[in-house]
Structure 1
Amino acid sequence: MKKVLITGAAGFLGSHLCDRFVKEGFYVIAMDNLITGDLKNIEHLFPLEQFEFCHHDVSKFVHVSGKLDYILHFASPASPIDYLKIPIQTLKVGSLGTLNLLGLAKSKKATILVASTSEVYGDPLVHPQNEDYYGNVSPVGPRGVYDEAKRFMESITMAYHRFHGLDTRIVRIFNTYGSRMRLNDGRVVPAFMGQALRGEGLSIFGDGSQTRSFCYIDDQIEGIYRLLFSDYRNPINIGNPHEITIKELAEEIIKLTGTNQKIVYKPLPQDDPLQRQPDITRAKEILGWEPKVKRKEGLKIVYDYFKSLDPEELQRREHRNFA
């Protein structure tokens, strides 16, 4: 049985990766310090013999006994609310955490895939964004703690590949949505869903003309899985290229919920990207991957998921504090 270490395993993406690798017959070691992760996301896997959980901060030395075939490094705060509240931890997990896991991969002769993000492109001057674009990022702005952590992650990963011959993969993840998100984490889909469920107006920052491209979780996991088992070492975009304005998304969610909620406009945060759309030509050609789930279908699944939660669990997901 192949063994995989998944960091950030109790988070949104990490928990779905745990599900996928258990399903594929791997022995899964799930690692998380629970600063933003939630054990509820993976507790259904605890009874399985091929699954174990390790409560650990990867910014500190990481030890795994025995053989290890694969590492997926997904430990990182991923939403603006999170990384603006814990900026130092965000920088440390992207730098020290990545360094520790690259060292572990080297010692175990394991393949490592690191989770980068579309934020490496910053507020892009090229549209749509392809992997050859270097980005437009402020290292000293409030979002710099996240953006630069991911840019460093990519640099040191490629250094280990070139200098040590380490087998590496880099995925650049664009906006993804699905079950197990926190309603108050600042990401636009769960934020709108939470406001809809509470009967509040939907908050738009700026005039709503800024764009995003939303990928459903099942599509995202499939793209990551295919990348791991490819032989492609350079960064690759995994996201849905169907671009939409934030105002249009709010209107779609209002229609989905069948309410007459109003849109409330608020000031645009500093360095908030005005456009975000992946060029997935490389993913199509190299991985044979492209998203399958239409936004209308995915949003309904997610809204039904949040509606299905009992009131206590819904409130817990809405008001979760840092561990």
Structure 2
Amino acid sequence: MALTKDTRITLNDGNTMPVLGLGTYAAPDVPKIQAEEATKIAIDLGYRHIDCAYVYNNEVQIGNAIRAKIADGTVRREDIFYTGKLYSTFFNPVLARKGFEKSIQDLQLDYLDLFLLHWPFSLKLAEGEESISPDKPYVYDNVDFCDTWEVLEQLKDAGLVKSIGVSNFNKRQLERLLSKPGLKYKPVCNQVECHVYLSQSKLQAYCKSKDIVLVAYSVLGSHRDKDWVDLSTPVLLEDPVLASVAAKYNRSPAEVAMRFVLQKGIVVLAKSFSVARLKQNLGVFDFELKPEDMETLEGLNKNLHYGAFKEMKQHPEYPFHEEY
């Protein structure tokens, strides 16, 4: 099947997800209005999948953008696929509904198309703190994500979310959720870091066997925020092999890196607030990588997590101790 910006993949609950989405995370020092303006432009360009999260702290602005594009007739609400995420500080079932309500109120939307457990572990805020940040100590909680999942199932039953899924889960954690007694809905997707240095082929194969779609973030590597990323790691877009494949197709390394993930059958989230790059990213549908080039790029895999979130390594549910 030829891929286009309008291609959607069918989820295990019958809903459909666009194969290309706009990622909206930005570092705290980036003005929130940039996310709002970029989302409006992306919708004008044809993006219909918008990925955000409570912890990004910009759902008010993303909601403003979506509603503005509905109001001016560019799209209908049903044209937009919006993904939100329940952060780890809301995993206590008593708080989970409040976490969802915070997002829906900020967005001013009637429902979410997809709602994810953001991580497989639970955290609680330190006393006196209102939000999590990398320079504050983390307080671990022992809430089981399987208990939190029941709240997401209730939200789906109530029609407040169309589909439910997970993010950053490894195979063992997916198995534990899938074997949960009384499971009503299995996750439709697992959103994970994925790029030519982290091809996720084994995790993808497992997810495919369970009819769970893999969704990729950080497909171009990652921002170089020293609070989150080890600056000694190689810059993905400067890889000489990637550059040589890109030259062969007269494309940018970014376009080829994105196309590689898309062509593996993985949904891609492309994060950019630049108009030029938002347009360029749609170029991934204008060419196709040959099998031998897919194989070459697959060979670049280093199992490298840019977003290793090492400060959470002591948590018993930290997902990256295992191969996949």
TM over 0.5: no
TM-score by length of 1: 0.32
TM-score by length of 2: 0.32
